Every structure is written in structure tokens, then in C-alpha cells.
Copies of this chain bind each other. A is one copy, B any other.
């Protein structure tokens, strides 16, 4: 694949940015990739592992002359970072982000950008429970979705170019409006994460079950929850604070449904339970058929041991 942007600036050098860098290099999608992170430690790590062609000590230096600038910082600081870099952006540059929430990010970022740049929010639906500049890998976005959220006034050629870039990173790309994005993600990601965090916290609290037992006997079920609940705390705090309404709505529905199942257990309504569990099994089948997960038992963990 050929060069899509002459210079890409990655602002924030965590899991997503570092994976983007390695994926850009894999296909030669950019002439040069600059990187900036607020912490000296992160910048030094990036230099040590050759993450980015050029690691910059200031955001001004990183974005200067870049025709694509991608905000890869926690959702809660997107606005402030946008404001900081705004004076140094190149004319006609494309500005994007990778935040898990779109409405609040747009509200925070857009007013801080000058009029001579194009803001096309994006969200790659990919990640792992690891974080930091050393956690990235080129394959992270392969066969995953990336949702673009252009505004009604976005230039379609600018959007098309960003789409082509994300396809080059390995993703399947679709467009969606911000509110719908936030609801879909509340269901498929935000509420499940909060629930996993909660369950892991509860297990830790239950005094009669010692810590070591919870860890020792964590078979399938709890073990998978702990993986989800190991994700970056700052990132997730910001996601919940910035997708408050949709997350609370889904959690409300969840609680309602959970109460109904608890009641079925209490009243020993086995048919209700069986019907419910049969229905959810069918949904899993759909995900595998859609190519979004492996059908290998237990994610292939068993086979590898």
C-alpha cells in the first residue's frame, strides 16, 4: 500500500497509538510518524523501543506540518489537549481521535480547533487489557471495526482518506452518528466492563472466601471477568464519566433483568432459566459467524497448554 499521509502525529503513546505506529510501518501508510506523550518516562520508553520515527518533547513540534493528527489520550483530557495543540496545527490538517466515547469528545474537542482543519472523530473497536507504549502490536486492528463519526459538515474526501488509512491499518471501517455510537458501545463494551469490574471487586470483598482461593480457583467465568477488569483505570473512569447516560440506561435494564433471573432462581423456575440461557447461546453463535471471535474452546487456551 502506498503513503496516505505525509506526516502522522500520534498524541499520547499508549496501547492504541503504539499499535497504530507498528501497523502504519507494516504497510508504509505514512511518510513520517511523530509522537508525543506528556510524561518523560513514556517518551524515553518510546525512544528506546523505536516507537515513532521521531519522538517530540513538545506537542507543538509533534503536530507541526502533520497532515493527520490523532488524539490517543484518555477521553477526559481530549479537550485540553486539543486546545494545547490548536495553535500549531497545519492548514487543512485532518484531526482525529481514538476515544471510546464520541458525543462528549466532539463537544470537548471541536470548539478548541481552528476553522482551517478537519475534525473526523474515530473509534477503533480494539484493545487488550494491557496499556502503555510497550503494549502495542501491528495486528491489533486486523479484522476489527473502526467507526468513523464525521459531522454533517465534514468534507467527504477528507473522510474517505481517513477511511482508507484505517483500512490500511487492518480495520473494517463504517460510519455512524455520535449518539448511536455511544449507545451501541454502552451495550457492547461500557456496561460489560463496569459489570466485570464490579464482580471482581465483590469477590475481593467476600471475607469468607480468601483472596488466594478466589485467585486459585478462578476457572472460566470469573477469570474472564478479571481480564476485562484489568483494563486501564484512567481510560475507563473517563469512558463512564463521558458516556454517563447511555451506560446508566443499559445498567438499568441489566439490573431489571438480573432481578428477574434472581427471582427465577429463588422460585426455582427452571424453565425460565433454561429458555434464557438457550437464547444467549444463540447470540454467541452469531458472533462467531460474524468472524469477531475464535470458535476454539476457551479462546484456544486449552489447546495451548
A257 CB contacts on chain B under 8 angstroms: 198, 201-202, 205
**C-alpha spacing A261/B205, complex, angstroms:** 15
> Per a CB cutoff under 8 Å, which of B217, B244, B265, B270 touches A188?
B217
A240 CB contacts on chain B under 8 angstroms: 265, 273
Would you give the shortest CB distance from A149 to chain B, in whole angstroms? 13
Q: Assess whether B199 is in contact with A214, with CB atoms less than 8 Å apart.
A: no
What are the 8 A-B residue pairs with the smallest beta carbon separation, nearest first?
A128-B297, A230-B284, A233-B277, A125-B219, A192-B221, A229-B280, A200-B280, A189-B221
**C-alpha spacing A242/B187, complex, angstroms:** 31
Q: Assess whether B223 is in contact with A292, with CB atoms less than 8 Å apart.
A: yes
**C-alpha spacing A292/B188, complex, angstroms:** 26
- Residue of chain B at shortest CB distance from A254: B202
Q: Is A253 an interface residue (CB 8 A)?
A: yes
29 residue pairs of the A-B complex, CB under 8 angstroms, read: A126-B220, A129-B298, A130-B297, A135-B297, A145-B217, A145-B219, A187-B222, A189-B222, A192-B199, A192-B224, A192-B225, A193-B221, A194-B258, A194-B262, A195-B258, A201-B257, A202-B250, A202-B254, A204-B279, A204-B283, A215-B290, A227-B293, A230-B285, A233-B277, A233-B281, A236-B273, A240-B273, A251-B262, A299-B300
**C-alpha spacing A189/B203, complex, angstroms:** 11
Say whether, besides A199-B254, A262-B251, A304-B300, A227 and B189 are in contact (CB < 8 Å).
no
Q: Assess whether B253 is in contact with A255, with CB atoms less than 8 Å apart.
A: no
